[in-house]
A and B are shown apart, each in its own frame.
Chain A
Amino acid sequence: MEAQSLPAALALVAGGGAGLSPEKRAALGVSLTLLQHNYRFERVWFWGCIQGVRGSYYIAEGLRPDRAAPRIRLYSLNCLDWSLLTPATKEMVAQAEQLKGRFQGDPSFEYNFAEINPQAAETLFEGGKEPVIKEEARLIATIEQIDRAVGIVPRGAFVKTPLGSVHENRHFEGLSLVEAKKLSSYFHFTEPVNLKNKTLLEKANLDPSTDFLDSLEHDIPQGSWSVQLEKGGAVVVLRSLLWLGLTFYHVPMTKQYGYIYFGTGEKNVDLPFML
């Protein structure tokens, strides 16, 4: 969620019980502004917090003018000092998928694959490298997975220019209450996968400037999003059931929206049993 609207936004996602202490909020207000200046970001998003056993990671994302470009991620253990995270690679994601269990809270902690899964160690670590992975790499991979799987924005919030760059739609005034209840009004903010598979009839209705992303309708498994209207419709809150802890909020008919993650950073693999 936008760094500037953090206080108001935190009040809207607090329905899940997770939030930030006043100390952290104050620290973020200060450090995110400094971050924006130091790295010359156009916008800074506070992505959320991954809770480890002994400590938590606070994550921020910085955006450049083209919003579709890969976002630059930083993490901090105390909301004041931020460290840059390298972009995620496919290897990292494949390795991190083998790891189960909570994060430890220490970025230099090493997971030893030889103990966890010797077979995977052989396939994933080619070239005689040591089969260890640092928690920092696991963090990078997890954030990438979460963003790709469940990072969402409302329809119409972003437009794509004919040149291919994406930026915010200044004409976006918010979804109406009726639209806000439908899953098809929300898009994954990542490269589309399903767009080409739509039938010609559906494609005819799409507006290429706003409908260039995958909507949530076809997420597998069906029902992996919980849509709730709080206060009778004053706020619409979407919670992901696949990555427990991701909360998206939007105030209908206004420009306020955003998502944040407060959780342990583990995928809910039991989802099909739980629905």
Chain B
Amino acid sequence: MDQSPGLNPSQGADHTYAYERGHGPYQPHEPGYGLDQPDYSPYDDQIPDPKARMLAIQNAKAYLLKTSTTSGLNLYDHLANVLTKILDEQPTNTVDIIENISKDVKWARFQKKMDTLRDEYEIPPTYEAAEKCKALFIKENGEENEEIIEEEIGHSPLPNVMETAFYFEQAGVGLSKDESYYIFLALKNLTSVQPIQTCRFWGKILGLEMNYIIAEAQLREGEEEEEAGEEVTEEEVKGMDEVEEQDEEKEKEDEPPKSTYKPPPDIPKEENGTGANKYVYFVCNEPGKPWVKLPPVTPAQIVCARKIKKFFTGRLDAPVVSFPPFPGNEANYLRAQIARISAGTHVSPTGFYQFPEEEEEEEGGDTYEENPEFEPPAVAEMVDSLSTWAHHVKNILKQGRCVWINPQKLEEKNEEEEEDEEEEEEMDEQQAETGPPLLTLLSEDEGIKDIPAWTAQHSTNLIPQHSVAIIQSNRWPGAYAFASGRKFENIYFGWGHKYSPENYTPILPPPVQEEYPSGPAITEARDPTLEEELAFKAAQEALAAGEEEEEEEEEEGDD
């Protein structure tokens, strides 16, 4: 340290001594300044000696330049960097975020040092998803193109998803425009891959891990039956093999008596193209992923689906763990819920569809055709009264089918032994289940407690000339339908469950089966007491005496 010549050497020594003690030279604003310098009074504010000030500054700077033993930085450089950064970036309210800035500067230092390894450029998952979406936009080129265009212009199976999305958006229902467009393109892919006659965007069901986008389609005739046939024959062949093996084993060992319990016969599923299986459903998790066809639904699955309430996970092969055990995996459960939702909430303006005149009205009136003379009622009417809407999907009976089948008749077909006929006679005749016929009006839908089954509203009250009639189902929250003139459409966005005001309670297990019918011969009775036995004996003797008298009288009569 330079010692200024003007200063008393002893005073300089005093300064350094004070510095080592940790107090440092006192600055003018600190109390105690000037007290160790007897020439100056405490009230003198002027800096007396510029050289002392220089010394003080140099001392301070040396302190700041001291390198830290742990990190190798020194405060002087760090503060210089921080201030440089602040002056470069000029953030607002710097004083509030100064600590964060300081931390950032230190962090930046360290990052640079570890740059010897280069990070491999990770392919973010967003990239892969974007690739898939881009694939949707690619148009197939080639000679096929022209033919396809001609076909499409004539009768395109592809629905106008964007138009539907526009109408539903007026109601505040629907996906974002981007997603709707992706779905549009994905449907276009579906129609080009599968032999589809008509198809429609059914809706979206949310799941825990992934969601389902569902398309409803009708395949061209003749395409489906082959697959179903193949599956059935394979199963039969397997069944036969197993039965033969079992028979051989039985002959070898003595067996406990076989149970005479025959489970109730499986109610067969409805044919593809009729009833609950009228449409075929394709699902995918996201537009861009391949479409998967859902298997047809069986009545057992629908009956079971009515009793359980489970979230969908988003994977079609996930098991459905429930009580009563669901016969199938998530794909079957999804299909069953789709069938229930369609049956409960697919509606159209009354009169849009009509029964064809040629067909007799049987219970199985399944077909309907568009009414060419349909005149759409005004939007106000459609909102005010629910009788302007009608269901156009057949109601699913309690049995799980749309057309009732007598299970007794099924048993007759399967078995031909006499014993079984006797058992059938004992069984009560089951009443044929009936449900509301096709094209029922919505006004006849029952509400839940005091809530009506449907809520109708205008899409806008401010511009009535262009408003759209919207109805939403209260029984299946998430099901919406709109009507505007001749256009109408149904859609579903939700979790896939029915609304119930009561809490869900799982059904109880069935009662324990009876091993044998209980009757007077098996039931225990108290043994008769002595008096009862004597009385019984006396009564018997009286009877026997009475009979003898009668016989004697008859003998006398004969003579």
Main secondary structure, interface of A, reads: loop
Query: Which chain A residues lie closer than 8 Å to B279 at the CB level?
Result: none
In the bound complex, do residue A275 and residue B311 qualify as a contact, i.e. CB atoms below 8 Å apart?
Answer: yes
Report A243 CB to chain B, min CB distance, Å: 12
In the bound complex, do residue B494 and residue A17 qualify as a contact, i.e. CB atoms below 8 Å apart?
Answer: yes
Query: Which chain B residues lie closer than 8 Å to A54 at the CB level?
Result: 455
Q: Does B504 count as interface, using CB distance less than 8 angstroms?
A: yes
Within 8 A of B (CB), among A251-268: 264
In the bound complex, do residue A274 and residue B311 qualify as a contact, i.e. CB atoms below 8 Å apart?
Answer: yes
A-B contact count (CB 8 A): 113
Q: A11-B176, A177-B124, A234-B129 are in contact. Are A17 and B503 (CB under 8 A)?
A: no
Q: Does B452 count as interface, using CB distance less than 8 angstroms?
A: yes
- Select B179's contact among A15, A22, A275, beta carbons within 8 Å: A15
Q: Does B493 count as interface, using CB distance less than 8 angstroms?
A: yes
Query: Which chain A residues lie closer than 8 Å to B204 at the CB level?
Result: 15, 17
Pick the most buried of B130, B172, B208, B210: most chain A CB atoms within 10 A of its CB: B172
- Select A233's contact among B125, B175, B211, B459, beta carbons within 8 Å: B125
In the bound complex, do residue A171 and residue B311 qualify as a contact, i.e. CB atoms below 8 Å apart?
Answer: no
In the bound complex, do residue B504 and residue A270 qualify as a contact, i.e. CB atoms below 8 Å apart?
Answer: yes
Mark interface residues in A220-233 (1 if CB within 8 Å of B CB, else 0). 00010010111111
Q: Does A53 count as interface, using CB distance less than 8 angstroms?
A: yes
In the bound complex, do residue B208 and residue A226 qualify as a contact, i.e. CB atoms below 8 Å apart?
Answer: yes
- Select B172's contact among A18, A241, A274, beta carbons within 8 Å: A18
Within 8 A of A (CB), among B193-226: 203-204, 206-211
Q: A228-B211, A270-B503 are in contact. Are A18 and B493 (CB under 8 A)?
A: yes
In the bound complex, do residue A15 and residue B175 qualify as a contact, i.e. CB atoms below 8 Å apart?
Answer: yes
Q: How far is the CA of A54 from the CA of B474 in the complex (A)?
A: 11
Q: How far is the CA of A10 from the CA of B503 in the complex (A)?
A: 32
In the bound complex, do residue A273 and residue B504 qualify as a contact, i.e. CB atoms below 8 Å apart?
Answer: yes
Q: Does B353 count as interface, using CB distance less than 8 angstroms?
A: no
Q: How far is the CA of A101 from the CA of B447 in the complex (A)?
A: 13
Query: Which chain A residues lie closer than 8 Å to B286 at the CB level?
Result: 230
Closest A-chain residue to B130, C-beta based? A232
In the bound complex, do residue A14 and residue B126 qualify as a contact, i.e. CB atoms below 8 Å apart?
Answer: no
Q: Does A19 count as interface, using CB distance less than 8 angstroms?
A: yes
Q: A18-B172, A275-B311 are in contact. Are A23 and B124 (CB under 8 A)?
A: no
Q: How far is the CA of A269 from the CA of B173 in the complex (A)?
A: 25
Q: Does A102 count as interface, using CB distance less than 8 angstroms?
A: yes
Q: Does A239 count as interface, using CB distance less than 8 angstroms?
A: yes
Report A202 CB to chain B, min CB distance, Å: 23
In the bound complex, do residue A232 and residue B125 qualify as a contact, i.e. CB atoms below 8 Å apart?
Answer: yes
Report A63 CB to chain B, min CB distance, Å: 19
In the bound complex, do residue A273 and residue B179 qualify as a contact, i.e. CB atoms below 8 Å apart?
Answer: no
Q: How far is the CA of A264 from the CA of B448 in the complex (A)?
A: 15
Q: Does B506 count as interface, using CB distance less than 8 angstroms?
A: yes
Q: Does B154 count as interface, using CB distance less than 8 angstroms?
A: no
Q: Does B170 count as interface, using CB distance less than 8 angstroms?
A: yes
Q: Does B100 count as interface, using CB distance less than 8 angstroms?
A: yes
Report B24 CB to chain A, min CB distance, Å: 29
Mark interface residues in B493-534 (1 if CB within 8 Å of A CB, else 0). 111010001111010000000000000000000000000000
Q: Does B462 count as interface, using CB distance less than 8 angstroms?
A: yes
Q: A14-B179, A54-B455, A270-B503 are in contact. Are A233 and B311 (CB under 8 A)?
A: no
In the bound complex, do residue A232 and residue B129 qualify as a contact, i.e. CB atoms below 8 Å apart?
Answer: yes
Report B417 CB to chain A, min CB distance, Å: 43
In the bound complex, do residue A17 and residue B478 qualify as a contact, i.e. CB atoms below 8 Å apart?
Answer: yes
Additional A-B contacts beyond A100-B502, A233-B126 (15; CB < 8 A)? A11-B177, A14-B176, A15-B206, A15-B211, A19-B173, A21-B169, A23-B462, A101-B451, A101-B501, A228-B211, A232-B124, A232-B127, A241-B208, A273-B309, A274-B309
28 contacts between A and B (CB under 8 A): A10-B176, A14-B179, A15-B206, A17-B203, A19-B169, A19-B173, A19-B174, A20-B172, A21-B169, A21-B170, A100-B501, A101-B451, A101-B501, A102-B474, A171-B97, A171-B100, A226-B207, A232-B124, A232-B125, A233-B124, A233-B125, A233-B126, A233-B129, A244-B495, A270-B309, A273-B506, A274-B309, A274-B310
- Going nearest first, the 10 A-B pairs with the smallest beta carbon separation are A17-B493, A232-B129, A270-B504, A21-B172, A14-B176, A232-B125, A11-B176, A232-B126, A233-B125, A233-B126
